[in-house]
Chains A and B, each alone.
Chain A
């Protein structure tokens, strides 16, 4: 299982937000600065964290919420 907190930490770092500002219900719809450029940076950081295993999941390109990202990572990556 991919730890949701790790995904939240990465999104918080990329969007330069304080701890607690990103939660399990955060998405590009309800979060300032979560635009397409920052989304790409989020994906690249996640891919680095996961040793290159996220790059092969094309659905991540349009997964713009914590919930969607965690679901896709857990569905596609064996930990």
Chain B
């Protein structure tokens, strides 16, 4: 078992999570998702944390009062077991199920789906510090799982529901956004955050260049640093009349 992870919420009890080396740990992108979602939901609702890892996104949104009923799933049974343990330790009511993308949620519908399924190029995942013992079967351009989630999402959204998803520049941004625009009437970018390339990945810059030249990922050189980006998007359809 790894060290505890703490997420502070102004005016609320903090979320304290146990982590596990075989379960995806919270990242800066997780925190960006929480921030963007919390700033863009005014009415609490039934919320699904898709690709929940250790549970941070759903737990934080539940504690903020945004998730009136919280559901979470992950392809990793180990992750789901960890979420159940973390939910109990944080006194959070959460129904957690294991299975890929929407498989565990047949017949269910939600007001909000927050997607945090692996969204970086599989070749980058292999050299990154984020996926050491966890799987990332997102394809060479990193978009396979996110695109799959986008395609299926409308079936699992209640009328007026919203689908939130991160788009990382270490994946094929154009493929993900064009897929969302085909499926949803409205696709809006909520936030944009830059990150420096982790030190562990610097020896592999030629691999990144190769993927960039193929149009599969993107990054920029600025201020002498290698920068990549996380954008958080929301997609939704107009309410049925």
Contact = CB atoms under 8 A, between A and B. Distances in A.
Bind each other: yes
Interface of A: 36-37, 40-41, 43-44, 47, 54-55, 57-61
A61 B224 contact: yes
A52 B58 CA distance: 37
Contacts of B194: 40-41, 44
B38 to A, nearest CB: 15
Nearest to B196: A40
B135 interface: no
Contact of B224 (A36, A37, A40, A58): A58
B: interface residue count bin = 10 to 19
Contacts of A58: 223-225
B28 A43 contact: no
Given A40-B195, A40-B196, A41-B194, A60 B28 contact: no
A36 B65 CA distance: 30
Contacts of A59: 224
B235 to A, nearest CB: 25
Contacts, number: 29
A37 B28 contact: yes
A73 to B, nearest CB: 12
Given A37-B195, A44-B222, 16 more contacts: A36-B196, A37-B28, A40-B194, A40-B195, A40-B196, A41-B194, A43-B222, A43-B223, A44-B194, A54-B223, A55-B220, A58-B223, A58-B224, A58-B225, A59-B224, A61-B225
A36 B225 CA distance: 12
Contacts of B196: 36, 40
Contacts of B77: none
B64 interface: no
Contacts of A43: 222-223
Given A40-B194, A40-B195, A61 B223 contact: yes
Contacts of A40: 194-196, 225, 227
A37 B230 CA distance: 13
A59 B223 CA distance: 7
